[in-house]
Every structure is written in structure tokens, then in C-alpha cells.
């Protein structure tokens, strides 16, 4: 059995929807939990020459679809942060540090909920620190960590590595050499893990 890797960026509402469901889906299927890997979506956009749908003509339709799916999944109504999309660089560096300290899932879920359940802007470091505090990451340690080359380099490396695997966007579930891109492809990825 292949262990899956779940690639995400905290600024993506579709990644939020996937993050809220993925652990439960793997548990129900009796599968080993996927590795959660923070990457910088902006880095993928640069690599593949794309931009967020949130900046284009599909914005309104995409937002409505995210809201519909959240309701269908039984999640709290989406509260959109302002601005959205925003700059998640600091938040993703904190997610990278959280991964290095074994708190990826708890921090990421707290941050996703700050953004899309509470409508708090993750470009504001204070909102990121609130999510960190929820999983016992001290704000001073986080502010220091995001400035270190170890954290910056790890995020760059993870993003470049994801692009090399063919990850063009988030959420993506990578199983072996297969990339399942999109919240709506989680179940398909799950089947690939189960083999």
C-alpha cells in the first residue's frame, strides 16, 4: 500500500474543504493517514504560469460552489476573509514549522477554520498566531521560526518538489505517481491508496 501525501495551501477554500474531510475518509476506509504537506500555491502558479480562479471571471461561481459543498459536507457556512485571495506566505511558513514540530494537522485545521469559518485574513500575522496558539505553538517562537532559512528553505523545497511531481494546484493527493487534484477527487485518491 502506498502512503498518500496531501498537498495544501491555507489560502485555498477547496483545500479547506478537503482538509476537513480527509482524516475521516482515511479512518473510515481503514487506511494509514496521509502525510500533510504544506506548499506555496503562489509558487505553483509561477511554475505553471497560472493564477487563482479567485482573481478571474470564475470568482463568483467558484465561491458559490465552495459554499454549496461546505453545506453538503455539513460544515459551518463559509465566511470569506477579506481580502481573498490573500498572501499566505507567513501562514505557510508557520504551517511548515508546525510540520517540523509534529503539529501539521492541528495547526492547519485551526488556520483553515480561522480563514473560512471565521472569515479572518491570514495575511494578518495575528490571525496566524491565534491558530498557532490553538495547538500550543507560542507566538514568539512562530515569529522567530518564520524568519529562519530552515523554514523558508523547507517550504521552497516542498513546493518545488510538488511541482516536479506534477502537482499543479491544491488540494492534491499524491499516491505513488498519481496526482488527484481537487476536493472532488479525494475519494478517487482514496481508492488508489487502497489499491
| Residue closest to 134 by CA, chosen among 152, 110, 118, 112 | 110
pLDDT at 158 over 90: yes
- Separation in Å, CA 27 to CA 18, 33, 36, 99: 14, 7, 15, 21
For 53-64, the pLDDT digits (tens) are 999 999 999 999
Q: What pTM value is reported for the model?
A: 0.96
Q: Identify the pLDDT of residue 1.
A: 59
Longest dimension (CA), the chain: 44
In the beta sheet, which residues pair with residue 172?
Answer: 7, 181
DSSP string of 116-153? HTS---TTSHHHHHHHHHHTT--HHHHHHHTTSHHHHH
Domains of the chain: 5-194 (3.40.30.10)
Amino acid at each position: 500500500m502506498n502512503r498518500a501525501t496531501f498537498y495544501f495551501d491555507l489560502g485555498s477554500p477547496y483545500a479547506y474543504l478537503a482538509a476537513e474531510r480527509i482524516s475521516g475518509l482515511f479512518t473510515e476506509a481503514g487506511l494509514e493517514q496521509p502525510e500533510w504537506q504544506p506548499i506555496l500555491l503562489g509558487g505553483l502558479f509561477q511554475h505553471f504560469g497560472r493564477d487563482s480562479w479567485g482573481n478571474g471571471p470564475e470568482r463568483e461561481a467558484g465561491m458559490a460552489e465552495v459554499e454549496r459543498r461546505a453545506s453538503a459536507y455539513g460544515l459551518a457556512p463559509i465566511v470569506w476573509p477579506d481580502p481573498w485571495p490573500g498572501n499566505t506566505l507567513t501562514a505557510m511558513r508557520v504551517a511548515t514549522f508546525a510540520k517540523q514540530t509534529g503539529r501539521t494537522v492541528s495547526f492547519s485545521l485551526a488556520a483553515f477554520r480561522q480563514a473560512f469559518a471565521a472569515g479572518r485574513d491570514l495575511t494578518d500575522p495575528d490571525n496566524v498566531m491565534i491558530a498557532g496558539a490553538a495547538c500550543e505553538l507560542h507566538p514568539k517562537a512562530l515569529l522567530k521560526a518564520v524568519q529562519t532559512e530552515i523554514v523558508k528553505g523547507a517550504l521552497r523545497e516542498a513546493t518545488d518538489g510538488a511541482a516536479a511531481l506534477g502537482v499543479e494546484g491544491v488540494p492534491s493527493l499524491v499516491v505513488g505517481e498519481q496526482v488527484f487534484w481537487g476536493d472532488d477527487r479525494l475519494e478517487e485518491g482514496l481508492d488508489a491508496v487502497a489499491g
